Structure 1
Amino acid sequence: MEEDLNKLIEFHGHYCPGLIIGYKVAKYVLKNFKRSQDEELVAIVYNNSCSVDAIQFILGCTFGKGNLIFKDYGKHVYIFYSRENKKGIRISLKEEISKEMNTVRNSMLNTTGEGIDIDAVKKWKEEYSDKLLNLPEEELFNVRDVDIPEPKRSKIYPSIQCEECGEYFMEIRGRIIDGKIVCMECFERLLEN
């Protein structure tokens, strides 16, 4: 295995198909979508699976820098936007790969009465990860250019103190309830009571 993959597995904690998908996506982007400065590449990910750890680790797109955007659509789609080049690409899994993963995963999860065979699942994950790792990109992904508006850069807002819990929070996330300015956490808790 390549050194960066070994480091990625160590960072993530295990070797699995999701991680390999993200790894292959990140390697494709490094090879085909040039960038020169940190934060100029923006990743828009449509899932919160293991794959996103690879994108963060290999490409340096993170929530903290504001160049990782999560859209909870639950599918293996990854959009990358270069602020320098004003270009975007969309990478998604080929239909055959999605179907294959789904079939095996569903058959393992729909066991009859005896529960899930953890060893069988572990073996499948390792074998399928190896298969994905060795597949050529063109057999794994659909890639196309996309024309999207430039994602907004992260912005720093003033903090204010919650009048309920006393913790400081980002001003634009404040809510008013019972005449008090509160953080979202306290707002949700007070709404439930």
Structure 2
Amino acid sequence: MSGCTLTQEQIKATQAFHGHWCPGLALGLRVAELGLKEFGSAHDEDIVCVTETDMCAVDAIQFLMSCTFGKGNLIHRDWGKAAFTFYNRDTGKGMRVAVKEEFWGREMSREDRIQDIMTASFKTLFAVTDPLYPVPSRAHRLESLVCEKCGEKTMESRTRRFGGKILCIPCFTQLEQR
């Protein structure tokens, strides 16, 4: 397949969601296009994306594939890589999509880069491999505990114990830094 097959309506709506047009969003459109082709859009938490970056591309995945932090089907791993792994939690199928270095490293203007991204084939843009990790589990609903320093409720799995007290991560970090 060569060139983007998303409709102009999908592209314009994604641009409006993101707020501007840039190479990162164009890249995200193409990643989401491939994700939609292989997995479709998430109905609830069935399709999940693990993103290894927090760049503009992630907005296209959120908008077009309905993968969101709130539903627990968009997971951010802060590894600084232009790579995205999609899974279908119901079938266990998955794929990792990483931008090819030889594509990303070419020098060109912003507009030329956007055009290049939008017209390139998936094979030119991406290295598609099996996922590096198993399918992430669905979001767990855990008890909230009250931080004994600030008094705010915090998900149990995000608390720390220090000196016999239950603390949220920010309060624990403040104590650690002393």
TM-score (structure 2 length as normaliser): 0.87
How do 1:98-177 residues align onto structure 2 when only pairs under 5 Å count? Answer: 98-100=104-106, 103=107, 124-146=109-131, 148-177=133-162
How far 1:11 sits from its partner (Å)? 1.2
Q: Offset of 1:67 from its aligned partner?
A: 1.0
Aligned partner of 1:86 in structure 2 is 92
Q: CA RMSD in A?
A: 2.0
CA contact (8 A) 1:22 1:53 kept: yes
Distance in 2 separating the partners of 1:35 and 1:145: 20
The C-alpha deviation readout for 1:104-160, integer Å capped at 9, x for no partner, is 6xxxxxxxxxxxxxxxxxxx3233112211222222122234474221111011111
Query: In structure 1, what residue type is equivalent to 2:145?
Result: I
Distance in 2, Cα, partners of 1:144 & 1:192: 41
* Structure 1: gaps (5+ residues): 105-123
Structure 1 residue 8 displacement after superposition: 1.0
**Residue 57 of structure 2, aligned match among 51, 57, 71:** 51
Q: Structure 1 residues 47 and 164, CA, compared in 2 at 3 Å: closer, same or farther?
A: same
Distance 1:41 1:184 in 2: 30
Asked if structure 1 preserves the Cα contact closer than 8 Å seen for 2:41 and 2:65, the reply is no
C-alpha distance in 2, partners of 1:48/1:36?
Answer: 20
Conserved 8 A contact 1:76-1:92: yes
Name the TM-score, length of structure 1 as normaliser. Answer: 0.81
Measured after TM superposition, the shift of residue 35 of structure 1 is: 6.3
Please list the CA deviations of residues 78-117 of structure 1 after superposition, one character each: whole Å capped at 9, or x if unmatched: 11111122111111112321221xx56xxxxxxxxxxxxx
User: Which residue, out of 44, 47, 61, partners 1:41?
Assistant: 47
Residue 81 of structure 2 aligns with an amino acid whose one-letter code is K
Contact 1:88 1:147 in 2 (8 A): no
Aligned identity (percent) is 41
**Structure 1 pair 181–27 and aligned structure 2 pair: CA distance change class (3 A):** same
- Deviation at residue 38 of structure 1 after TM alignment: 2.3
User: Which one has a bigger Cα radius of gyration?
Assistant: 1
Name the structure where helix makes up a greater proportion of residues: 1
